[in-house]
């Protein structure tokens, strides 16, 4: 994906103002140019900064290295748990500052030009550390024309084509420069002196102002801010999805087993060639010695006093015969060596046959970088949204039951539980709950209770107002973890057990039929049955192309059946 320009960067920074006032909770450096900062603001913002290219908040998290980079260790020591005082862009430049305040003020400077860089300075811009080493001890900015607040005289004297002034001097880039000229009726090759300058200044400022709020045109591997497509107005979301599709893209490579097997075959084939050469050489030596059995009597034959060997030259090769051995002894030794080499050739051929018989997949699909979706706060509970888009939460165990009632139950909520013990508490967050919503939450409460594992077709559920639920036990009684006292009138319903698991925009959702069928057409119904939870999850995962672990989270404990 291309690098962002000054105006696009300004729009992103404006969307990221939400992190101001929050604390920096985690710092990672998946790659030298890729920084991941996580904040404790309301949205638990995870900021991805690809220096030299782009920054954006993400709904996903990238796998981080087990051994952190030295620069990350330095950042953690200096700015971790610091409060974000301000995030701002340097006027007219592709540089962003994040100002952190703790005991001392630190400024993280991010460059989005060239190779990019992360630089940490103090409040006086004295350089403390950087991801890529720089010579400067004090960081200084080069003053550039601010496209949002430029003065007429800053561009009036420039003797260049209009398109160059807009794309380079005002830092909008060629696409937006051409788009402006087309929309406002300017000749892209005109000079400043040839146009109504005051009208041009008014038009370009209006155009730049519009770029901060109009819709975004999303392409396969790119994006542009464009009035023609206003369906998406959050630039962070668009960039996040573009990067996510890039990182999650599957591609095919040769499998490790296949590569290893091919290397082994080539190694054996290379040995066969070497063995043949050695046999040929030794056979030539035998032929020579057989024809010259009295060679050792030749006075020109060299004798090495150190090794005590006779050295006989045959062309470029040399035969060594130890003192005390005859030519016949050497010929016999050579035959023995040839015999051993032929045994090795036989072994190498057998190994090649075995390796070629192995059934190994030549190709393997892997992921370049796997990005995992960050869970929303309520996903630690049982949850679904009703047909009317009201949130329903349920406990998974005694601990989450406790947390649900103590921390998330509000005045207007309705609280649900089965008449029989062994049920999670469910709460319906709705000011004016409809009968169908109450019925749906009752079905969920019953389905996630022990009634499911007992294969009971229907069971009784009651619901009460939140002020009827208390942790205080009656005198002489004790409430265990996850249990609560219900006082006052109860409302009862008898409901059938059954749930739906569905796929909504590639994500797993689960709950009662009417709630899930209103969100997606891709779903499967489940009821109590005789197949294990894991088998049912695998079938649903395969049919709906969903993550197996996510499906497991929505299935009740016990055996089930797919309708």
Residue 249 has pLDDT above 60, yes or no: no
pLDDT recorded at residue 295: 72
Higher pLDDT: 533 or 479? It is: 533
User: Each residue of 422-477: pLDDT tens digit?
Assistant: 899 999 999 899 999 999 999 999 999 999 999 999 999 999 999 998 877 776 67
**pTM above the 0.85 mark?**
no
What string of H, E and C letters represents the secondary structure of 250-293? Answer: EEEEECHHHHHHHHHHHHHHHHHHHHHHHHHHHHHHHHHHHHCC
Residue 241 has pLDDT above 90, yes or no: no
The CATH code of domain 6-130 reads 2.30.310.10
Question: If you average pLDDT over residues 150-157, what whole number do you get?
Answer: 86
φ/ψ of 282, rounded to 5, equals -65, -35
CA distance 436 to 443: 11
How far is the CA of 404 from the CAs of 68, 401, 463, in angstroms?
36, 5, 15
User: Each residue of 322-331: pLDDT tens digit?
Assistant: 766 777 888 8
Residue 394 has pLDDT above 90, yes or no: yes
**H or E element in which residue 424 lies:** none
Residues of 341-358 as b/e, b for ≥16 C-beta within 10 angstroms? beeeeeebeeebeebeee
For a pLDDT cut of 90, what percent of the chain falls above it? 45
CA distance 339 to 69: 58
User: Domain segments of the chain: what residues?
Assistant: 6-130, 152-251, 256-363, 377-562
Question: If you average pLDDT over residues 31-47, what whole number do you get?
Answer: 85
């Amino acid at each position: 994906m291309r690098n962002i320009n000054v105006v696009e960067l300004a729009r992103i920074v404006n969307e990221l103002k939400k992190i101001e006032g929050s604390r920096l909770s985690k710092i990672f450096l998946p790659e030298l140019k890729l920084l991941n900062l996580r904040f404790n603001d309301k949205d638990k913002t995870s900021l991805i900064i690809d220096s030299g290219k782009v920054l954006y908040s993400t709904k996903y998290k990238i796998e981080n290295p087990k051994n952190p980079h030295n620069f990350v260790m330095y950042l953690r020591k200096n700015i971790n748990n610091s409060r974000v005082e301000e995030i701002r862009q340097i006027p007219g430049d592709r540089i962003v500052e994040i100002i952190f305040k703790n005991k001392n003020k630190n400024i993280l400077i991010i460059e989005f030009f060239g190779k990019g860089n992360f630089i940490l300075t103090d409040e006086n811009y004295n350089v403390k550390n950087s991801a890529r080493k720089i010579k400067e001890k004090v960081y200084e900015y080069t003053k550039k024309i601010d496209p949002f607040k430029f003065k007429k005289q800053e561009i009036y004297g420039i003797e260049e084509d209009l398109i160059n002034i807009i794309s380079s001097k005002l830092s909008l880039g060629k696409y937006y420069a051409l788009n402006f000229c087309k929309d406002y009726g300017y000749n892209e090759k005109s000079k400043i002196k040839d146009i109504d300058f005051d009208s041009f200044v008014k038009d370009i400022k209006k155009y730049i102002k519009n770029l901060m709020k109009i819709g975004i045109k999303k392409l396969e591997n790119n994006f542009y801010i464009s009035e023609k497509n206003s369906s998406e107005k959050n630039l962070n979301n668009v960039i996040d999805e573009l990067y996510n599709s890039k990182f999650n893209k599957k591609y095919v490579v040769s499998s490790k087993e296949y590569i290893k097997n091919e290397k082994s075959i080539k190694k054996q084939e290379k040995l066969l060639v070497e063995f043949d050469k050695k046999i040929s050489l030794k056979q030539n030596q035998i032929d020579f010695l057989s024809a010259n059995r009295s060679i050792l009597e030749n006075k020109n034959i060299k004798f090495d006093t150190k090794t005590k060997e006779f050295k006989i030259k045959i062309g470029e090769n040399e035969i060594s015969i130890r003192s005390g051995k005859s030519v016949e002894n050497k010929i016999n030794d050579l035959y023995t060596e040839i015999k051993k080499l032929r045994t090795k050739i036989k072994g190498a051929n057998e190994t090649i046959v075995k390796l070629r018989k192995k059934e190994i997949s030549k190709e393997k699909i892997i992921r370049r970088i796997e990005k995992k979706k960050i869970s929303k706060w309520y996903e630690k509970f049982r949850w679904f949204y009703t047909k009317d888009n009201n949130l329903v939460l349920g406990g998974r165990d005694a601990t989450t039951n406790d947390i649900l009632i103590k921390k998330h139950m509000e005045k207007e909520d309705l609280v649900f539980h089965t008449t029989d013990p062994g049920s999670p508490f469910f709460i319906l967050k709705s000011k004016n709950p409809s009968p169908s919503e109450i019925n749906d939450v009752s079905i969920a409460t019953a389905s996630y209770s022990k009634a499911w594992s007992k294969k009971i077709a229907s069971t009784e559920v009651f619901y009460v107002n939140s002020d009827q639920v208390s942790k205080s036990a009656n005198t002489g009684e004790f409430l265990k973890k996850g249990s609560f006292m219900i006082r006052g009138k109860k409302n009862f319903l008898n409901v059938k057990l059954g749930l739906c698991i569905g796929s909504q925009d590639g994500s797993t959702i689960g709950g009662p039929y009417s709630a899930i069928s209103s969100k997606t057409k891709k779903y499967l119904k489940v009821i109590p049955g005789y197949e294990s939870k894991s088998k049912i999850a695998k079938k649903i995962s395969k049919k709906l192309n969903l993550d197996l672990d996510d499906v497991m989270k929505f299935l009740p404990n016990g055996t089930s059946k797919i309708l």
